[in-house]
């Protein structure tokens, strides 16, 4: 019986499934714990993002420094970057000439969903004016948040993420030059510089740099605190 494990949990379950609400546990909880019953028990001793699939959302006018720097950092950490774009033809970065080579996305927004990836990153740039009017992009961000996945944004992309998650009043976003982590949403208001990307990245909770904070949140697999604090249900998706 669930009431023998946690009376409050059993009462919540009863309300949701329409069962009689238990008022007392059948027997005292001995307080011992068993390992292997929680996903948190299987996290590696040293945080890593190896093999994680990370979606990068872009349109024409994305910030090439943040895009190229994070792509390189993701690969160096043993993870897999996937570019999701507004089209399947080459997408040009901010300031590129008309006939520049550009980046060919792996997928179009209509052909993929956030459920196929472990985290999402959105670089800044003028492309945010396009992305913020794209409901597929807004849904992608909302769905990622609802599924407890790490979300990273820099520059102008911070305002896009803020607008999509505006109903979550408990979230904090980057102001000025600071890097902010809030419930697994990592933001840096200032566009990243080339020197922001290092060969060695420390994946620790106390990391000060954007990449370190973002990768640490990805390494945690999911931000369960979002669900425990009731935030996952606030954003419709």
Q: Token pair of 79, please?
A: 């993870």
- pLDDT, one tens digit per residue, over 140-156 is 999 999 999 999 999 99
Tell me if 185 sits within 8 A of 165, measured CB to CB.
yes
Task: Give the model's pLDDT for residue 204.
Answer: 57
Tokens of 214: 């973002």
Over residues 1-55, the pLDDT tens digits come to 788 888 899 999 999 999 999 998 877 777 787 877 777 777 777 889 999 999 9
CA pair distance 64, 78, nearest whole angstrom: 21
Q: What is the mean pLDDT of residues 219-233?
A: 93
Q: Is 55 helix (H, G, I), strand (E, B) or coil?
A: strand
Supply the Cα-derived Rg of the chain in whole angstroms. 20
Residue 138: the pLDDT is 96
Q: How far apart are CA 173 and CA 171, in angstroms?
A: 7
Q: How far apart are CA 77 and CA 146, in angstroms?
A: 26
Angle formed by the axes of helices 64-76 and 210-219, nearest 10° = 50
β-strands 185-188, 53-58: how paired?
A: unpaired
Q: What is the pLDDT of residue 202?
A: 62
Q: How many helices (H) and strands (E) does the chain have?
A: 8, 7
């Amino acid at each position: 019986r669930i009431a023998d494990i946690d009376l409050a949990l059993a009462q919540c379950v009863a309300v949701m499934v329409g069962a009689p609400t238990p008022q007392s546990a059948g027997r005292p909880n001995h307080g011992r714990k068993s390992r292997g019953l929680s996903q948190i028990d299987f996290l590696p001793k040293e945080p890593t993002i190896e093999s994680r699939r990370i979606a990068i959302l872009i349109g024409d006018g994305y910030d090439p420094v943040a895009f190229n720097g994070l792509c390189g950092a993701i690969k160096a950490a043993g993870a897999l970057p996937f570019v999701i774009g507004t089209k399947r033809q080459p997408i040009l970065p901010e300031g590129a000439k008309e006939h520049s080579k550009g980046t060919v996305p792996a997928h179009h927004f209509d052909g993929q969903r956030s459920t196929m990836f472990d985290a999402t990153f959105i670089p800044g740039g003028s492309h945010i004016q396009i992305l913020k009017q794209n409901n597929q992009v807004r849904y992608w961000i909302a769905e990622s948040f609802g599924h407890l996945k790490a979300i990273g944004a820099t520059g102008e992309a911070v305002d896009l993420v803020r607008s999509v998650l505006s109903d979550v009043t408990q979230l904090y976003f980057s102001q000025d030059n600071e890097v902010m982590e809030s419930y697994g949403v990592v933001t840096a208001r200032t566009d990243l510089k080339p020197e922001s990307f290092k060969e060695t990245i420390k994946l620790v909770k106390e990391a000060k740099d954007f990449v370190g904070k973002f990768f640490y949140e990805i390494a945690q697999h999911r931000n369960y605190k979002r669900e425990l604090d009731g935030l996952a249900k606030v954003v419709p998706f």
